[in-house]
Structures are given as structure tokens and as C-alpha cells.
Amino acid sequence: METNRDTPTAAPAAGHYAIDPAASAVEFTTRHLFGLLPVRGTFAIRSGRVDVAEPLGTSAVRAEIDTASFRTGSGRRDRAVRSARFLDAARHPLMTFTADRLEGTTVPGTLTVCGIARPVHLSIAESACSPGSFTARATVRVDRTAFGVTASPGMAGRHLDVTVRVRCVRG
């Protein structure tokens, strides 16, 4: 299959794919200090799979994101967000995303954070296929308060603009 970076609907061959954690990440931007300062950070994807089906709309996704991997470049902030006040990484070591369908360039699914599951819709912004693998970039806006992460209102941004970058390998 040829590589295509211009069309977000480039589809990999049907089959089972594993998400390559070393080549994948969840990146986010938000604001803090009453919305004045931008914050950028990442989470690591621990594991995941994508089952590409025929027809493509019946494909499925499962990804596990390591909450303890939260990084913004500020050790103090990172420890605070991983603490029980925010993500409670000790009790909730994983965030999960699951989906059982694809609607064009949208992946409607369920994001579970701190034990609370809410629907989200990832928008596929880019995909590229090659023999035996594919990459994809998708975006979503997440309201942290919908998942019970409500500490520091005003100081910590309510919304996170999230970009998920994955490399999936057939296996």
C-alpha cells in the first residue's frame, strides 16, 4: 500500500495491529494561572491495538495511557498532577480509550480517566500507510472536569487540546 500523508482517510490493510509505544504519544496543550500561560505536555501510550476491519467503519481501537508518564517539563507541576489531587496515578495507573467503529474521519469512543468513562470523538487529521504498518494523528478536546479532575479551578486549565500520534504494526 502506498504512503499517503495528504488524505486523512488513507486506510491500512484489514488485520490486527499493535500500537508501538516507542513511536507513539499523547501530546496536549492547556493553560494555567488564570488562562495566562500555555502548558504543553505528554503522556506515554503503554499499549494498544487497532483491529482494522472490512468494512472500515467496523474497525476497533483500544489504547492504554500511563497516567504516571504525565510530563510538562516542570517536576513540581508533574508530581502535583500525578498526585491524588488530580490524576491519582497510584490508584488509577491507566487511562483507556476504546472504540468499536469509525465514522469517516471521526473515531467515536470512550475515554476512561480516574475510573470515569465519558464519550469522546477523535478527529483523524492525518494517516499514512506502508506495508505492514500505519501511522495516524488524531485530535480531541477534553474537559478534565467531566472526569472528576477538578482541583485548582482557575489555576489549572479546564480543557486540554489533545493530539494522539500512533504508529501501528501488523502482528
pLDDT of 160 over the 60 cut: yes
pLDDT of 3 over the 80 cut: no
User: Across residues 60-73, what is the average pLDDT?
Assistant: 97
The pLDDT of residue 156: 80
Q: What one-character-per-residue DSSP string does 52-84 give?
A: E-SSGGG-EEEEEEEEEEEE-S-HHHHHHHHST
pTM for the structure as a whole: 0.89
Q: Please give the Cα distance from 1 to 143 (Å, whole number).
A: 37
- Per-residue pLDDT of 105-132, as tens digits, reads 999 999 999 999 999 999 999 999 999 9
User: Across residues 35-54, what is the average pLDDT?
Assistant: 93
The pLDDT of residue 171: 86
The pLDDT of residue 13: 93
The pLDDT of residue 35: 57
CB environment 44-73: b (16+ within 10 A), e (fewer): bbbebebebbeeeeebbbbbbbbbbbbbbe
CATH 1.10.760.10 fits 15-170, yes or no: no
What are the residue ranges spanned by the domains of the chain?
Answer: 15-170
Q: Please give the Cα distance from 1 to 130 (Å, whole number).
A: 5
- Contact status, residue 69 vs residue 93, Cβ threshold 8 Å: no
- DSSP-derived letter for residue 85 is T
Question: What sign does the dihedral 10-13-15-21 (CA atoms) show?
Answer: negative
Pull the grid cell for residue 35: 488562562
**Any residues with CB less than 8 A from the CB of 36 and at least 6 apart, and which?**
none
